[in-house]
Structure 1
Amino acid sequence: MRSRSPPPAIGALLASSLFAGASAQAGPVAPSAPGPGDIVTLDRVQVSATRTPQATLDTPAAVSVVRPADRPGTLGVNLSEQLPAVPGVLARSRQNHAQDEQISIRGFGTRASFGIRGARLYVDGVPATMPDGQGQVSHFPLAQAERIEVLRGPFSALYGNVAGGVVQLFTTAGQAPGAVGARLAAGSFGSYRLDVDAGDAVGASDYTLALGHFSTDGYRDHSAARRSSFNTRMGLQRDATRLTLLANALHAPDAQDPLGLDRAQFDADPRQATAGAHAFDTRKSVAQHQVGAVFEQDLTSAAQLRVLGYAGRREITQYLAIPVATQRNPLSGGGVIDLDSPFGGVDLRVTDTTTLGGRPLEWTAGIAYDRQHQHRRGYENFVGDELGVRGALRLQQDDRVDAFDQYAQATWIPAPAWTLMAGLRRSRVRFRSHDAYITTDNPDDSGALEFDAVSPVAGLGWRVRPRTLVFAAWGRGFETPTFNELGYRADGGSGLNLALRAARSRHAEAGVRHASGRKRAELVVFRADTRDELTVNTSSGGRTTFQNVPRARRRGVEASTDWPLSAQWDAQLAVTWLDARFGADFLTCAGTPCASATVPVAAGTRIPGVPRTSAFAALRWQAAQGWHARLEAQHVAAASVNNLDDERAAGYTVINLMAGYRWRRGADEADAFLTVGNVGDRDYAGSVIVNEGNRRYYEPAPGRNFTVGISWRWGGSH
């Protein structure tokens, strides 16, 4: 495997930037109390992550805000491009657009071989995570994102079926004067993205709408993909009433899937696809349409009613590389997945601001109902000797998940320097499956399962100085298995794995945060103890089964800072140390394939997919004349790839460089940039497929690559 060190000049500049950032932070983090004539710069960043919007400084929980406008120079396709500076979050692009990105928060979610688990996802308040806990970000309108909020740890339990945290994207509302924008970016491997948008506000109404198209030949063989998207947001304000309408659509046909590589394949040629990917033309098509509405009504000068409703449909057709011989088993579901998934829900809440003991109190109470249907069909992936085509029907079932939650939360200011937050959520998640494919050798697999949980959370914040908060939080949360994880039984029989239990966790964290204008720094220590941790049990014949491990523990430290060094320079740093281990002995699989878990895993073994350390550093420069540049480095330590911990993906450090020029003429603005990714041209696995049954764990990241782009905006205010 090729590994090249960064050029000495770049390495020296990066080291000096980190030292400069650390030196700048050392003094101002705990400033002296201001005198009577001093000006105190208030925190400008407001977050809604805990459902009672407030400044980040006053939030007694680990929460970060990312503004895509502060990190120009990306292709704008993947959410992982925007999250490297958030501590505790590992966001990896698989370089495989047939599968969603890999996002884990504090070590939760790494078990997902596709989709996103362990985190709740939202766009403008509309869930992008289904009630069974599986989410996707392929439809996230990154080009229209005004900010992204990431909530980690205990308070994420207030969102229901979740383990590690919450990621929320908020799009930009229309503003006057109106503006029209266009953005074109192109890069290595035949990749390009084109976005156009328009927005305006007239009187009591506003709107934004955007169209986007992305296409790539792919870094790896057999990894071409294209996506087209539409997103709109419209608002209407009348006296004490506001209505916001949301709609988006995604069309991504025939995204090729190169599959993962084993160690020998990765070392020999990381750009190759497996023989099975070519033989079966593995690919995935996705079409999603979604609408939503948010109705807000002021009941009094201090109380508000908010009602969110949404509905949509996601259609997926995926061709897998399951061998023909494997599908001879009468219980096989075939090698083609056909899903038609309508979904929808409603969230109703009341918020009021009052007093308790003469001190400010804000409370929120609400109910939420979410539903998910899956009309699932399975077909053979061959007809005669022809592979990679839809063949005979092998599976037909209708699945449904219903989640009904009630929640309440309060924020009380018992004294000027203190903030107390507490909340409670009761959740019920019901799974039902109706089997419509019944033969002599394939019996009725219908079944049902229900999970209930009560999740309390509490947090306390103490503003020790005007710009510095010390906080602590505690909470209990739960995470159900997804329908895909319930789908197969380890004994080889048919029907749902009704023996699976929901994972239940206790989270605790304590930290200190400094925020003043552009200056930000945060240090958090945390621990999460999980009962009935979900992990892989067996993998054979295209079927992966799951099991519960009695105990698991995650503990770590997160540190981050964003600090101006001068009028033109600022430094950014995020570091995470995370120790994630199973807390009990259990049995797992070995060999390819493996139909029975017989190999012991000892308590204390590392949870796969979780690196011990990760870090991100950036040095940014903005000249008065319009020039701007960014030098950044990302380090990820080695991570085990399976429950046995007998193989690991090597750690890596990657350096990226961006330079651009921004100019304005009247109300018009343009920005051009050039980005060089992986300057050192290092070979490394950008993500891993944990516990992959054929030991094809590795998804290679691209070597040195280039992106150029230009954006225009006509009109509007800047």
Structure 2
Amino acid sequence: MYRLSPRFWLPTLFLPLAAQAENSTYQADPLVVTGSRYQASGWQLPFSVNRIDAEQATLGKPGVNLSEALGSVPGLVVQNRQNYAQDLQISSRGFGARSAFGIRGIKLLADGVPLSNPDGQGQAATFDLDSLERIEVLRGPFASVYGSNSGGVIQLFSRDGEGAPKVALDTSQATYGTSRTRVSAEGGNDRAGFIINRSHFETDGYRDHSGAILDKTFAKLTLYPDDLSKLSLSFSELDQNGTQDPQGLSWDQVQADRRSAAPSALQFDTRKTVDHRQFALNYERSFAAGTWQSTVYSGTRRVIQYQSIPVAAQTPASQSGGVIDFERRFHGIGNRWIHSFDLGSSLLTVTTGLDYDYSRDDRQGYENFIGTTLGVKGNLRRDERNEVTSLSPYVQAAWQLGKLDLQAGLRHSQVEFDVDDRFLSNGDDSGSVTYRELTPTLGASYALLPDLNIYASWGKGLETPTLNELSYSGPDNSFGFELKPATSEQIEIGLKARLAQATSLQLALFQIDTDDELVVASASGGRSRFQNAAQTRRRGLELALESRLSDTLRANLAYTEIDATYSKDFTSNGRLIEEGNHLPGIPARTLYGELAWQPVEGFSTAVEGLYRSKLYVEDSNTAKTAPSHALFNWQARFEQKAGALTFNQVLRIDNLLDREYIGSVIVGDGNGRYYEPGPERAWYVGAGVQYQFD
């Protein structure tokens, strides 16, 4: 039976708090906007939110994957598949753990623009870490203020160009034929700023058939028309051509050759090409009465993916082939008004807004063979237009009453799927379905001491099926219009404490009850079908500790414990899944620690450790679990200045002790190929130069 027993250690936290209650000089936490929509100290907000600044997220790191930046956030599990065709796997308190590709169930935002499709499926690869200013991560009930499919929120902010113009060039080499080159320019003044960044990344991959080439471009122009307004225009581009997909391995295959690709991946030359382009505009203006914020975006995404569906499995007329080919056009707008009312002894801040997001896929499916030649585009087997529309009005209120802060929100989420089937030789699969739900949130925090806040929050959430989950979940692989959305109720209590003048602690206890959880019903012939399970329950604890031990030494610690189980029996693929079985893909315990040392200007070094307990890989919990593992990474960074020039060098070693481990799992794979091995010891060296104009 799962138990959380803080009674033995929690009282000791209050001893240093009481000693410094009368005279605290602790510097306030950095401001965040995620969760509250207005700038506020994360210290006073009644929910779990963490801010990671660019220095912590990127210095001494390759700058390729978002996984590099998120290890210090409790509640998140970030699994790097070492498979650039399928992107990272990220879960937040269990939301998103079953995603077979990309990120689902977590709202991804970059400068206010969704990186998630309106159906909840998103990709982190489109964001440019080189231009990062900060990342804000929200977990818990208040994530639902961002609409459907928001089990958590990861919001990225790019920096504005400022200061004297400067140009930079960086290059790096790493194990497994990996290299990266970046060139950038930026600068600005009190009227305008700009930043331009271009990077090229390529790798042979740790495993066979896992090579990738990624080209990214990011450009941003920031204008200040007057003292009260700000306008930002941005463009981002991702070209990812012919990225190889090694697929998962069975446990026997892992033992025989952990660096191998699945035989079917080689047979069909599984690969993926992505061309993504996006424009965005952000406008903010302050008035005497409040602040107006508006975000408008538009873009295109073209994907061609060659899968390994066997030829025989494509014989039924209902099969849509083994090649996915679609072109997506998407756009959206988000408007909000933030108004503060000074009530004398209290302050009331009200935010009202409306988010509209739309995407349209012109999607075709083709056989992945011509005669006896495999891995080529063959006959047309699918031709349809898929539209997803999301419309969500919302209102939030924050009331500051001295030591007491109250927060409330209400959002109406409406997500509509519309399918126009134009390939009628196998029947008409056209139709539509609309999901609607009101999601309220409530929270309160109270300052027991100047250095101790306690809080509680509650909320309801909605998670719709994604377009991919709907596509084959009906009878005979038809569109699964009968799938229900998953609805959840979350409760969180916690504290935020300052244990000393340079140490902060966050502790959260949470419970999440979900009805109609979406799970894999079957996976065969390269297709996964989904169904609604009965009920699930997730209970857990999160602990984050950040401390500046001295002027030169800094430490971070993040611990998560979670018990995620099915709370009712259900049947999946002819098998009884019993109450009490563990949800796959969610580790019971994760631990992250980092110790960073900067003894002199121009030199810094850090070591980080990561522990993850075993992972169940399917609902019956009978298949071999992915074993627990602990990894250590080390890095050192050097910097020299010579007039207008700044030089830097980086040396990094990942998996310092050369452990063998499973980096991520493919939940519910019908062929038993659940496991994606992580790389052994790997080195990385980089160097760069920057020139700043007068």
Q: TM-score, normalised by structure 1?
A: 0.92
The alpha-carbon distance between structure 1 residues 246 and 266, as it changes in their structure 2 partners (threshold 3 A), is same
Partners of 1:257 and 1:26 lie apart in 2 by 52
Partner of 2:6: none
The whole-number CA distance in structure 2 between the counterparts of 1:349 and 1:236 is 20
User: What residue in structure 2 maps to residue 624 of structure 1?
Assistant: 600
Residues 695/165 of structure 1: CA separation in 2 closer, same or farther (3 Å cut) = same
**Structure 2 residue aligned with 1:254, among 206, 220, 242?**
242
1:61 to 33, 47, 54: 47
For structure 2, the 5+ residue unaligned runs are: 1-9
Residues in 2 aligned to 1:163 and 1:586: alpha-carbon distance in whole angstroms: 25
Instruction: Tell me, in whole angstroms, the C-alpha distance in 2 between the residues paired with 1:180 and 1:290.
Output: 24
Indicate yes or no: 2:582 matched with 1:606.
yes
Matched residues in 1 for 2:17 and 2:480: separation?
A: 52
Deviations 1:449-475 (A, max 9, x none): 010010111111112222332111111
Correspondence 1:636 to 2:622: no
Deviation at 1:512, TM superposition (A): 1.0
Instruction: Measure the CA separation in 2 of the matches of 1:582 and 1:298.
Output: 49
Find out whether 1:481 has 2:481 as its counterpart.
Answer: no
Q: 1:409 aligns with which of 396, 410, 433?
A: 396
Contact 1:206 1:234 in 2 (8 A): yes
Match of 2:480 among 467, 491, 497: 497
Aligned match of 2:20: 32
The question of 1:79 aligning with 2:62 is answered no
1:232 corresponds to 2:219: yes
**How far did residue 126 of structure 1 move?**
0.5
Q: Distance in 1 between matches of 2:680 and 2:201?
A: 21
Q: Could you say which residue in structure 2 is the equivalent of 1:12?
A: none
1:221-300 matches, within 5 Å, as: 221-239=208-226, 240-300=228-288
Check whether the contact 1:341–1:372 (CA below 8 A) recurs between aligned residues. yes
Equivalence map 1:444-463=2 (5 Å): 444-463=428-447
Residue in 2 that maps onto 1:511: 494
Show the 5 A alignment for 1:274-673: 274-300=262-288, 302-356=289-343, 358-415=345-402, 417-439=403-425, 442-492=426-476, 494-514=477-497, 519-588=503-572, 597-647=573-623, 648-673=625-650
Specify the code of the residue in structure 1 equivalent to 2:336: R
Report if the CA contact (8 A) 2:42-2:49 is conserved: yes
After TM superposition, give the deviation of residue 28 of structure 1 in Å: 4.7
How far did 1:49 drift?
3.7
Deviations 1:55-78 (Å, cap 9, x if unpaired)?
111111100111231252221111
Tell me which residue corresponds to 2:204. 217
Maintained 8 Å contact 2:31/2:39: no
User: Residues of 1 paired with 2:669 and 2:192: CA distance?
Assistant: 51
The 1:104/1:716 distance shift into structure 2, 3 A limit, reads: farther
Q: Distance in 2 between matches of 1:470 and 1:399?
A: 46
SS of residue paired to 2:622: coil
**Is the Cα contact below 8 Å between 2:604 and 2:638 reproduced in 1?**
yes
Q: How far, CA to CA, are the matches of 1:261 and 1:598 in structure 2?
A: 24
Pick closer, same or farther for the CA change 1:524–1:223 going to 2, 3 Å: same
User: d(CA) in 2 for partners of 1:628 and 1:640?
Assistant: 38
| Aligned-partner Cα distance in 2 for 1:139–1:191 | 19
Q: Note the residue ranges of structure 1 that are not aligned, 5 or more in a row.
A: 1-21, 589-596
CA shift, 1:706, in A, is 0.3
SS in 1 for 2:90: strand
Contact 1:176/1:716 (8 A) holds in 2: no
One-letter amino acid of the structure 2 residue matched with residue 675 of structure 1: R
d(CA) in 2 for partners of 1:537 and 1:46?
Answer: 40
CA-CA distance at 1:108 after TM superposition: 1.0
The residue type equivalent to 2:241 in the other structure is: P
Aligned to 1:622, the other structure's residue is in SS state strand
SS for the counterpart of 1:421 is strand
**Using the alignment, how far apart are the partners of 2:365 and 2:602 within structure 1?**
56
In structure 1, C-alpha distance between the alignment counterparts of 2:406 and 2:644, rounded to whole Å: 45
Task: Letter of the 1:265 partner, please give it.
Answer: Q
Render the CA deviation track for 1:234-284: whole Å, top value 9, x for unaligned. Answer: 111122332111110100000000110000001111100111111110000
Deviation larger for 236-245 or 338-347 = 236-245
Distance 1:501 1:54 in 2: 37
Q: Which residues of 2 match residues 636-715 of structure 1 at below 5 A? A: 636-647=612-623, 648-715=625-692
Amino acid at match of 2:297: Y
Whole-angstrom distance in 2 between the partners of 1:518 and 1:309: 40
Aligned position for 2:130: 143
- Deviation for aligned residue 1:130: 0.8
- 1: CA distance between counterparts of 2:26 and 2:67? 35
Work out the CA distance in 1 between the residues paired with 2:89 and 2:389.
Answer: 26
Q: TM-score, normalised by structure 2?
A: 0.95
2:494 and 2:418 mapped to 1: Cα distance? Answer: 42
Matched position secondary structure for 1:151: strand
RMSD, matched Cα: 1.8
> Do the aligned residues in 1 keep the contact of 2:502 with 2:549 (CA within 8 Å)?
no
**Percent identity over the alignment?**
37
Q: Letter of the aligned partner of 1:641 in structure 2?
A: V
